């Protein structure tokens, strides 16, 4: 390609599409490059879509986006091997005109999102892998090289929206490769069932949806979570744990998923289903402390490639869309002032991101990832087992006086963790959460 572009976006996931769309809508000449056969073909998500962040890009998205179910219920489960203790929140308020959260299937959703990017005027090239960043003699990024025979393609700025692996950025030494204790490996299956069966299994009507998020002994003492999302005609079920924990324990992701599916609280939900898809993907989980340099001479990085993922609240795509949009708005600002795309001028992206929920939320929970990781045995094994036993002791009516039952429960906690351990855990958790 001979012509020069205002911006090249690497990747057509949530962050890349948000960035390309925003810049194209503002009249910039944008080239977007995606290695997959089509946008979404390589992408994995649970998946919950957060409407607010998409509305900021495509206000009328509900008219034609491939949405599955709007969420009316959230279930949090703390599990041991035979039980779960849950907090469920369901509200009729979520049956609103403009629902706040939907389940989606990324392959379909990304295709649709990409069609909006094209409609806005961006050039989108799929089946094109960016192999290298092109730089000038001063090290400024001036474009990219791809696996096509077109040679270098030049642009004023390159938006790195290449996802969690971020090979391009790490090879170019713009940031470090994500460390095994800062990324989770998640596996997911799609279980197909007739629509009415799904609605009966999850107590839903129409397009109502439900999400189950589960932690406990299902991750065998590793830092991780399982999830179950009801779509229209299939159920997404998966589990993910920190990669360093897999290395330490020798557990396998598919082994965990298999056990999760056979758990007595889970098996009835997917009973009779047919598995048609299986996928695996990394998730950035290092939080605020893992965020790399976000901009430089001729480049910015967004989404998972920038480790912008809120593992505590299980949000990623919304941070990706927001960082993509904000980076694009920063670029438009620099361009409209006719300034060059230098690190100094692009630093406005970081300032704008710092003011958004993306950095504020990650900063708030900056100590949580390390706390969870270094105390995984306690939080994901010991406490779930203790809570399960306490609950069973509480609800089982067997003639034991209640005061005695309470003593037994308290003793089980103290024996397992000691008073110092219990207060220490509570203190560390409260401090990391604040
Ligand atoms: P991606 O969506 O990964 O997109 C990166 C794109 O770049 C890909 O299309 C890839 O093919 C392309 N690419 C990479 N390298 C190159 C290259 N060299 N040249 C050209 N193209 C390239 N988030 C939520 O908000 N809700 C959820 O329910 C949720 N569930 C999840 C469940 C799982 C199992 C996983 C793995 C993640 C989940 N996430 C969820 C996180 C969410 O999927 C990510 O945060 C989000 O997809 C990040 O978007 P992105 O655009 O940064 O990266």
**Among 157, 234, 224, which Cα is nearest to 201's?**
234
* Helix%, strand%, coil% for the chain, nearest 5: 40, 25, 30
Sign of CA dihedral 190, 191, 196, 197: negative
Q: State mean pLDDT over 241-265.
A: 96
Helix (H, G, I), strand (E, B) or coil at 307: coil
**Among 320, 427, 312, which Cα is nearest to 14's?**
320
Q: In the prediction, which pLDDT does 24 show?
A: 98
Q: State mean pLDDT over 102-128.
A: 96
Least-confidence region, from 146-155, 261-270, 355-364: 146-155
Q: State mean pLDDT over 346-371.
A: 96
106 lines ligand 1 (CB under 6 A): no
Ligand 1 atom with the shortest distance to the CA of 17 = 51
33 lines ligand 1 (CB under 6 A): yes
Q: State mean pLDDT over 374-394.
A: 95
ipTM for the whole complex: 0.99
45 lines ligand 1 (CB under 6 A): yes
Find the 221 Cα to ligand 1 centroid distance in Å: 27
Q: What is the CATH number of domain 5-66+105-176+287-365?
A: 3.50.50.60
Find the 163 Cα to ligand 1 centroid distance in Å: 5
Q: State mean pLDDT over 2-17.
A: 94
Q: State mean pLDDT over 117-134.
A: 96
State how far the alpha carbon of 308 is from the alpha carbons of 134, 206, 291, 299, 363, in Å: 25, 34, 7, 17, 11
Residue nearest to atom 47 of ligand 1 (CA): 317
Share of the chain above pLDDT 70, in %: 99
Q: What is the mean pLDDT of the chain?
A: 95
Ligand 1 atom with the shortest distance to the CA of 309 = 45
Give domain 183-284's CATH number out of 3.30.360.10, 3.30.9.90, 3.40.190.10, 3.30.450.40. Answer: 3.30.9.90
Ligand 1 pocket mutation, candidates 22, 45, 292, 325, criterion most atoms within 8 A of CB: 45
Find the 406 Cα to ligand 1 centroid distance in Å: 47
101 lines ligand 1 (CB under 6 A): no
- What are the extents of the domains in the chain? 5-66+105-176+287-365, 183-284, 369-433
220 lines ligand 1 (CB under 6 A): no
At what angle are helices 317-336 and 357-364 packed, to 10 degrees?
130
Q: In the prediction, which pLDDT does 1 show?
A: 64
Instruction: Write the pLDDT tens digit of every residue in 181-219.
Output: 999 999 999 999 999 999 999 999 999 999 999 999 999
111/321 Cα distance (integer angstroms): 15
Ligand 1 pocket mutation, candidates 243, 320, 324, 353, criterion most atoms within 8 A of CB: 320
Residue nearest to atom 3 of ligand 1 (CA): 163
55 versus 44: the higher-pLDDT residue is 55
308/310 Cα distance (integer angstroms): 7
Q: In the prediction, which pLDDT does 399 show?
A: 95
Q: In the prediction, which pLDDT does 43 show?
A: 75
306 lines ligand 1 (CB under 6 A): no
Flag whether pLDDT at 334 surpasses 90.
yes
Find the 14 Cα to ligand 1 centroid distance in Å: 7
Q: In the prediction, which pLDDT does 45 show?
A: 75
Sign of CA dihedral 266, 270, 272, 274: negative
Residue nearest to atom 6 of ligand 1 (CA): 11
Residue 41: which pLDDT band, with cuts at 50, 70 and 90?
confident
Q: Which distant-in-sequence residues (6+ apart) come within 8 Å of 261 by Cβ?
A: 189, 237, 267, 270
Q: State mean pLDDT over 3-7.
A: 93
Residue 151: which pLDDT band, with cuts at 50, 70 and 90?
confident
Q: State mean pLDDT over 267-280.
A: 94
Share of the chain above pLDDT 90, in %: 94
Find the 13 Cα to ligand 1 centroid distance in Å: 6
Residue 50: which pLDDT band, with cuts at 50, 70 and 90?
very high
- SS3 labels along 356-378: CHHHHHHHHCCCHHHHHHHCHHH
Write the DSSP symbol of residue 315: B
Find the 417 Cα to ligand 1 centroid distance in Å: 39
Find the 31 Cα to ligand 1 centroid distance in Å: 19
163 lines ligand 1 (CB under 6 A): yes
Q: State mean pLDDT over 319-327.
A: 98
């Amino acid at each position: 390609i001979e012509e020069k572009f205002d911006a090249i976006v690497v990747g057509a996931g949530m962050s890349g599409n948000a960035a390309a769309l925003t810049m194209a809508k503002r009249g910039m000449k944008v080239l977007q490059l995606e290695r997959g056969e089509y946008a979404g073909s390589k992408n994995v998500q649970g998946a919950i879509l957060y409407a607010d962040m998409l509305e900021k890009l495509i206000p009328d998205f509900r008219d034609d986006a491939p949405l599955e179910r709007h969420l009316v219920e959230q279930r949090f489960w703390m599990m041991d091997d035979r039980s779960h203790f849950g907090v469920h929140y369901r509200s009729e308020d979520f049956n609103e005109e403009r629902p706040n959260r939907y389940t989606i299937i990324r392959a379909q959703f990304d295709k649709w999102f990409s069609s909006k990017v094209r409609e806005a005027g961006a050039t989108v090239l799929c089946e094109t892998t960016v192999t290298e960043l092109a730089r000038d003699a001063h090290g400024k990024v001036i474009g990219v090289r791809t696996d096509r025979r077109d040679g270098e393609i030049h642009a004023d700025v390159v938006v790195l929206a290449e996802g969690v692996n971020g090979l391009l950025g790490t090879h170019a030494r713009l940031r470090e490769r994500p460390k095994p204790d800062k990324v989770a490996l998640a596996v997911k299956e799609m279980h197909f069932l007739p629509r009415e069966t799904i609605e009966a299994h999850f107590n839903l009507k129409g397009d109502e949806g439900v999400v189950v998020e589960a932690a406990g002994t299902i991750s065998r003492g590793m830092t991780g979570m399982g999830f179950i999302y009801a779509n229209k005609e299939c159920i997404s079920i998966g589990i993910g744990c920190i990669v360093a924990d897999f290395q330490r324990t020798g557990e396998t992701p598919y082994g965990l998923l298999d056990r999760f599916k056979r758990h007595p609280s889970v098996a009835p939900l997917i009973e009779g289903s047919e598995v048609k898809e299986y996928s695996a993907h990394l998730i950035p989980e290092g939080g605020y402390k893992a965020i790399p340099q976000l901009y430089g001479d001729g480049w910015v990085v967004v989404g998972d490639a920038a480790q912008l993922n809120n593992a505590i609240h299980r949000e990623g795509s919304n941070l990706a869309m927001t960082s993509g949009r904000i980076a694009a708005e920063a670029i438009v600002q620099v361009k409209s002032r006719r300034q060059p795309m230098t690190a100094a001028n692009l630093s406005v992206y970081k300032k704008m991101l710092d003011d958004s929920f993306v950095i504020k939320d990650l900063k708030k929970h900056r100590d949580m990832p390390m706390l969870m990781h270094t105390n995984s045995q306690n939080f994901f094994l010991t406490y779930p087992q203790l809570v399960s036993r306490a609950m069973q002791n509480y609800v089982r009516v067997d003639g034991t006086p209640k005061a005695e039952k309470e003593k037994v429960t308290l003793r089980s906690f103290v024996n397992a963790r000691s008073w110092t351990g219990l207060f220490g855990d509570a203190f560390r958790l409260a401090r990391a959460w604040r």
